[in-house]
Chains A and B, each alone.
Chain A
């Protein structure tokens, strides 16, 4: 770990310090030792000339399903963390809806050991809100926090009982820890397959009424208000959710929110032809919702982008729409797609993308990273904003090949990923330990 690395001729972009300037970065012991102009390039193990390309804090994905333990045929901590660094993601939170769920110290340790062994991205296991995600009994938050858990979520379903959620939020204040809420009122959404709207009506698919999300968003915001807990809303997909979050922030309620690349880029017309790759929860919504999410992201009402990376086996996604599983992968497509579809046309700035996919998530989770300053961990990504590419799932490191973006052309991608001072990815190739 004592390796020294010098990045020369980089344009360092760190929204947290409002920094965008030509700098050299000296990395030592896994940390950023020095940030300056024209650092001497003698005596280092490696000197890398970035030729004026951008170097930004490594991306931080708050919402990833690594499937391990229990569903290793879909993804493993090994394959998922490789996919992450290939996509420029240096830190990720893995959701606890595994089998068994991450609701006890043993499973937390298991995930951490597997992550250490994979030795790629930093992996932060999240804990469940309730034991077994059963919605009844609270998980031992204090115990799991001591094990290194950063936040709690029953992701995949809502904590149905308002009373249980009220007590969870009440109790967790002792630790000022974060609750991440999956917003979907289940009596309304139970049989749903697609956003209840024009396309579900025309295609004869079971609708997921939008109010199911909105009800849950509103309830959890009100519970956060009365308890004072810190609440983060996962994969927000509706214009009206954005309105609620805006209101909550104006009231001073401690709420943050994320949305996904696919909700920012696609709408429910992708269902046409019963495309199983467009089947996910929350579902793809209307064009008006998509625009509102973009607007929410631009204005800061929505704090973060997160992929909700949900890998599936080929056979679970290649059948007819009704039997297909919910969810798409995202780790290897998020950065190239957001650079191409949002940054390049000027919808959001590169600074803003880095802010909402690195700085803010790190702040919300209270983890290191998300910044480039002396003393902070050397979690870095080099971006080439011109590099052409194409989404080709067969080249994914992830086991999940399920993406609606297959064949999309991209311009701009991560070309180097550095985690804790070690180069993990270079020009698309992974560098093992």
Chain B
């Protein structure tokens, strides 16, 4: 297993951040004490991504206490899923992490397939990998671009959004929608790759390479950006693991855990790529890890195009995948299969399973219980952000108010995913 450190700062790569001096405690500071001030950040603060409120108690500009209040975007994903067929849940998963919907689509159907005990076709696996990596690129670009904007860098934001736009065009070409993709199906995909898909992707790839280089030049060695990012929002390896951190944020502390490598799914064991690691777990490391992961995703997609062969994208089983329309209109078997799938849903055998994949922000898990009928008995989404944001309070205690902005951004909280 190969990996590389992303940071070239002149520090001992084994020097770890200290553990939190003060671990998690309930709010105990009295805001009425002289010298203290209570500030409500959000939910409509421009840097709070519109969906979270922070109740901060300040002494000067130092954070004495804070409470992160989530739930402003709660819409009951899990209860909706219990009242829809297994297939009808796929569009709901788009709304979890809306920046990388394809990752959620893939994660959800893989969990259902685990419960069904089926394996999809090779071409389907390659296409799912391509789509998940494209979504990861779009997600990382948004995190980087928004981070630059919130620290006052308008131009790097435009670079990031310009590249992301090209990838949204690719996603639109793939499934007709930019954000609400609903591309995967249980046992396969909505359809095969469209014509000229690779040509469209190459255009986006060129745009990404150019814009990423520009962004890199403007930000990575930028004195102002560096001073805001480096040594702020630090978390140690032990604390990151203790709080259930996964994804780029965990890897920024130097822990080598990536679901794609540790527990490969699809064909991730057949492609070669590196896991970029940070060493200090500060905001700057998280920024560098994301930049490096963009390049790794490009490598993965290149290999997918190289190894992919023509073939069917759906499993040949009409009790799981809808039959072709010719069969529906011309044969009684096709008609019955179509009717049963639409009216009753897929009969997933009784049981429980936890399916997990590496989404853009970390381990996206779906714990599901089936009662043996066409609707799930229970679908629980383990959102990566949920674990990330709960560590925000111990990270920020004793820090400056201004450090909340870059920290909150590099954690990349997504309202749709955390509130479900």
- Report if A and B associate in a common complex: no
